Amino acid sequence: MDNYQAEELIKYIKKFKDKKIMVLGDLIADKFIIADPERLSREAPVLILKHQQEKILPGGGANAAANIASLGAQVDLLGVVGDDLSAAALKKELNQRNIITDGIFKDSGRPTAEKTRILAGGEQIVRQQVVRVDKVKSFDISAELSDKLNSYLEKNIAESDAILFSDYGNGIFNQDTTSKFVKTAAAAGKYSAVDSRYQLPQFKGSVIATPNLEEASEIYGSQLKSQAEVEKAGLKMRKELELKYLLITQGGDGMTLFAPGDKIEHIPAANFSEVFDVTGAGDTVVGTLILALAAGAAVEIAIRIANYAAGIVVRKSGVAAVTAEELIREVNKNDS
């Protein structure tokens, strides 16, 4: 197992249940409408689907929180939702997962961000996504909401072992708020991990960031096609963004860690041959990573644990989570 014994990784996974992680992020209600195809419409060349059921699951920063909770840790989730039915359904789902929602504030001026996926297919086959409809307003949160979030953060961060910033570009993180949040985390002496879709440079000074290849290419300014290009870009980005660690995730090509002293380590993907669905895999990686760091794992061990978690989640359908028991089984399986 690439010089790291299974027992060493499992030792930290077993500590997950004693940890508490704060997640501050853009919250999304992932709505799934499940239907059976009936016939073609006479009105247009489209399928008529018969509605079977619908559910709302945590998406965006809420999915990262759900992943951490699934691994056994306590989660304190901060964010902004609308004053609507989606917010109520999302909070109900989060409460069922024992996620603390006291830091979720309502903004009646914007709807809860919602991504609706319509899945079609009969009982005997895997249902396929037919269409996705997004309802997202991406303007900056008000100064009042920003103050509420930062005040909650300052008041409660001492009780948490680490913090994850989950940025989907929906307005929580902006020129006025981001550096304030990062400084609050640093002042409390906590590990801070960043998963930012569009504006990683704003998170200067964080402990670790986890852009994927596409996001890293965007920041670097050119498409990263080879491992040599990834390594050149990563060294430059870690310094410019003043990060202690930078982890560039590369899907089937694994992930590359950049550490102090210009150290570079590449970790091949765990079990990428059985990929079914990569939805939410980034949330799984960053959630597992920050939890392993909070449990006291060295970063080289933490990324291996996160890599195994990603290897499990890509074999599941939809936005899925991983349990500590599954993770231990996966580590043992690959050690045998």
Quick check: is 253 catalytic?
no
* Cβ-based neighbour number of residue 138 at 10 Å: 12
> CA–CA separation, 288 vs 294, rounded Å?
10
> Which two structure tokens, joined as six digits, stand for 147?
């103050």
CB 156 within 8 A of CB 185: no
Catalytic residue among 18, 140, 283, 335: 283
> CA–CA separation, 71 vs 214, rounded Å?
27
> Measuring CA to CA, how many Å separate 313 from each of 65, 142, 196?
15, 36, 20
* Cβ-based neighbour number of residue 335 at 10 Å: 13
Give the DSSP letter string of 189-240.
Answer: T-EEEEEESS-GGGGTT-SEE--BHHHHHHHHTS---SHHHHHHHHHHHHHH
Q: What is the CA radius of gyration of the chain?
A: 20
* Cβ-based neighbour number of residue 161 at 10 Å: 21
Give the DSSP letter string of 68-94.
Answer: HHHTT-EEEEEEEE-SSHHHHHHHHHH
Contacts with 244 (C-beta within 8 Å, 6 or more apart), sequence order:
206, 207, 208, 259, 260
> CA–CA separation, 64 vs 194, rounded Å?
11
Q: Tokens 């060294």 — which residue?
A: 235
Catalytic residue set: 283
